[in-house]
Homo-oligomer: A and B are copies of this chain.
Amino acid sequence: MYRGTSAITLDSKNRITIPTRYREELFADCQGKMVCTLDIQHPCLLLYPLPEWEEIELKLCGLSSMNPQERLLQQVLLGNASDCEIDKSGRLLINGPLRQHTGLEKNLMLVGQLRKFEIWSESAWQTQMQQGIAKIQSGEIELTDRLLDLSL
């Protein structure tokens, strides 16, 4: 399970360094083979270990291409999915279309989210956190059964 936020940089060759604390687990999960695609709700990227992604792909495969909404999801998620492999120095290449769509700058945040990561530009992530916390504290969150079950 991946968790926590790391400040990382996009270097002049459009690579990011995966923090060492994740590498061992990543190598066990997927030998460094990962898939990066666009997020559909936020201006960020999603980074999956290959086996995780393959499960999602299977689900996407089950959607109907006759349903315009479902087809759109397929187009966005599958169309942007790009194979990335962690190189020998623990770095990973982020290709052009992905960078542009997210407006990635030099300073990024790599955010562990259980079985995947999110990649945000640092400023967007901070905004997301501030607004998100404000929203939760103001009680704008509707408490579903699943949420009530959370006792922190």
Name A's B-contacting residues (CB within 8 A). 1, 3-5, 7, 21, 35, 38-41, 46, 54, 56-57, 59-63, 65, 67-83, 96-97, 101, 111-114, 118, 128-129, 132-133, 135-137, 141-142, 144, 146-147, 149-150, 152
Contacts and interface: CB of A to CB of B under 8 A. Distances in A.
A66 to B, nearest CB: 8
Closest 8 CB pairs of A and B: A3-B81, A79-B111, A4-B82, A72-B132, A40-B136, A3-B78, A69-B141, A5-B79
Given A56-B152, A59-B150, A152-B56, A71 B114 contact: no
Contact of A40 (B70, B72, B152): B152
Given A3-B79, A75-B118, 14 more contacts: A3-B82, A4-B79, A5-B80, A38-B133, A56-B150, A57-B114, A59-B149, A60-B114, A69-B141, A73-B136, A73-B147, A76-B136, A78-B114, A81-B112
Contacts of A135: 72
Given A4-B83, A5-B97, A61-B114, A128 B78 contact: no
Contact of A63 (B65, B70, B118, B146): B146
Nearest to A110: B79
Nearest to A62: B146
Contacts of A133: 38, 40, 76, 101
